[in-house]
Amino acid sequence: MEKRKLGNSGLEVSALGLGCMGLSFAYGPALDKEQGIKLIREAYEKGITFFDTAEAYGIANEELVGEALAPFRKDVVIATKFGFKEGNSTLGLDSRPENIRAVAEESLRRLKTDVIDLLYQHRVDPNVAIEDVAGTVKELIQEGKVKHFGLSEAGAESIRKAHAVQPVTALQSEYSIWWREPELEILPTIEELGIGFVPFSPLGRGFLTGTITDKTQFDSTDFRNNLPRFNEENRKANQKLVNLLAEIASQKGATPAQIALGWLLAQKPWIVPIPGTKKSNRLAENIGGVSINLSASDIQEIDDAFAKTNVQGERYSAYMQSHVGK
């Protein structure tokens, strides 16, 4: 698979990563451990070298990633995150230096590794100066426990302040055809600073694949049940977006998911999306998106089509925004 470098850091990863959260968290029942290991190793065999997890996805998620990647640990890049009280996103934020250190030690143990390739602050903590967060990660880098520092869903001001203390290798935030907010201020800022961008939910939490309709019933444990954008009325209203994507995909002999990923990859050479999946066929489909070559006119056609539509529904509930950040 094509490789990409995250900004000016020199950290080289596959053009597409694997978001591992959904294997055991947020999207319905967890995948059986052996199936999870099999899927992660299949991703590696198909060329993916960039794997994303977090303390907040549960102990099992980091342990799964660590065990699955142990045989080829030196050939892959593992990213994980700190930043919530007791590792639980419903309990609020905690980026105190002592917590960062404690989480890093636990992550090293669970991931069965002696160094974390990329350590993100999961969300900016308004109660802890971002300079102190960056300084703590800088110390972990100096101690050889971490290689690179990242931020997630941070604003431009926080990015600049953190970067001045410890260079930020990557920003991970939501970005897709149907969530374009990073284009306003974030992408220009990180391009200026030489920071890579790792879009999560690049397929709109599954909606842009065309497999979700207003009739879809999510498992009771699926967090999309609590997202305004995924209520039945909004799914019905947003279906025209997927129909547009499907039309373009049919012209290219591709799937809607592949067009959505190809669109992201075409934005900047330092963008590395991390779609997640529990299914082998979806993994192969997503990887196929790397081979989708969209011309400038293709991109313009997609952007023009989407500019004429309004996405209905907030991406997070008010409760989630207050606990997790927007």
Residues designated as active site: 57
Please tell me the distance from the alpha carbon of residue 315 to that of residue 50, in angstroms, as a whole number. 26
**Residue whose C-alpha is closest to residue 142's, from 134, 130, 131:** 134
3-state secondary structure of 154: coil
The CA-atom distances, in angstroms, between 172 and each of 154, 183, 200, 242, 263 are 8, 14, 7, 24, 17
Contact 24, 60 (CB under 8 A): yes
The CA-atom distances, in angstroms, between 30 and each of 35, 50, 79, 225, 249 are 10, 21, 20, 17, 31
**Residue whose C-alpha is closest to residue 163's, from 135, 143, 141:** 135
Please tell me the distance from the alpha carbon of residue 134 to that of residue 137, in angstroms, as a whole number. 5
For residue 142 the two structure tokens come to 């100096």
3-state secondary structure of 18: strand
Bridge partners of 176? 179
92: phi > 0 → left, psi -120 to 50 → alpha, else beta; which?
A: left
Supply angle C-alpha 212, 214, 216, rounded to 5: 55
Please tell me the distance from the alpha carbon of residue 201 to that of residue 107, in angstroms, as a whole number. 23
